[in-house]
Amino acid sequence: MLYIGCHLSASKGYMAMGKQAEELGANTFAFFTRNPRGGSAKEINFSDIAEFKKLSEKLAFGKLVAHAPYTMNPCSANEKIRNFSCQAMADDLKRMENIPHNYYNFHPGSHVNQGVDVGIEFIAQQLNSVLTTEQSTIVLLETMAGKGSEIGRSFEELRAIIDRVELKEKLGVCFDTCHVWDGGYDIVNDLDGVLEKFDKIIGLDRLKAVHLNDSMNKLGSHKDRHAKIGEGNIGADAIVKFINRPELKGLPVILETPNDMEGYIKEINFLRENYSE
């Protein structure tokens, strides 16, 4: 079963997202837990959540992939930003328990001149202070393009974070195809090799979700600019091969391509047509 969807606006609640997903032919989706550029989260509406759960069951949705705000930087040099980041994640994870057993994805952060090792230490510290044994949500580290001082540009950097976290069973990885490509992993000509590397360094059992994007930039460019499926340097063929890999079957696939809703419908249909069970 291909679980596929895109980012939806959370401003009108879960039921609105569920209905929109249905209209798009999606059976999973992503949403920002709070304003992606700001900080505040919305009030929790329990009847909305109850209604959404029924819809989600009826439509057999796969796991949702919530996204932390971009303002979150767990390894900022500024203590205030680190504290905000920590509190926001703790609060997000508490809220996520209203829709239990889903995923919460975040960008590990940018170390800005502090060095990778300091950055990794701060990220692990944040995870160690927010993760709880009781939570049903799995927190996903996103593979990053390595723009600026972004951490998570290599599988080794993600591994180093995981190694320092106590509750490893609450951690997974979200594989962003544009980021991995921009990070220098050739998923077009050597997908076997890339997945082998992922398995050796991180372990395929940690691979929980996919951000499916084409890339405007070249392999190893460390730029991070998403393109529509088939309109970038990864190309439709490689993307179709990617979603059909047995290692990825059943994972929620989220499109983050520059599209309006009509564009997403087209991409979802295209990927479904080119997916074999």
Q: How far is the CB of 121 from Zn ion (least distance, A)?
A: 24
Is residue 255 a contact partner of residue 4, using CB atoms and an 8 Å limit?
yes
Q: How far is the CB of 76 from Zn ion (least distance, A)?
A: 19
Pick one of Fe ion, Zn ion, none as the site partner of residue 211 (Cβ within 5 to 8 A by kind).
Fe ion
Task: Give phi and psi for 85, each to the nearest 5.
Answer: -60, -40
Specify whether 179 is catalytic.
yes
Specify whether 247 is catalytic.
no
Specify whether 142 is catalytic.
yes
Q: Where are the beta strands (DSSP E) in 93-230?
A: 103-106, 138-142, 171-176, 207-212, 214-215, 226-227
Specify whether 70 is catalytic.
yes
Q: Nearest to residue 179, comparing CAs of 149, 223, 237?
A: 223
Binding region for Fe ion (CB under 5 A) = 142, 176, 211
Whichever of 206 and 211 has its CB closer to Fe ion, that residue is 211
Q: Which listed residue (82, 95, 153, 211) is catalytic?
A: 211
Residue facing Zn ion at closest CB distance:
224
Specify whether 48 is catalytic.
no
Binding region for Zn ion (CB under 5 A) = 224
Whichever of 135 and 213 has its CB closer to Zn ion, that residue is 213
Is residue 12 a contact partner of residue 19, using CB atoms and an 8 Å limit?
no
Pick one of Zn ion, Fe ion, none as the site partner of residue 224 (Cβ within 5 to 8 A by kind).
Zn ion
Specify whether 67 is catalytic.
yes
Residue position matching structure tokens 């029924």: 54
Q: Nearest to residue 194, comparing CAs of 205, 182, 181, 206?
A: 181
Bridge partners of 179, per DSSP, are: none
Residues known to be catalytic: 37, 67, 70, 107, 142, 176, 179, 211, 224, 226, 256
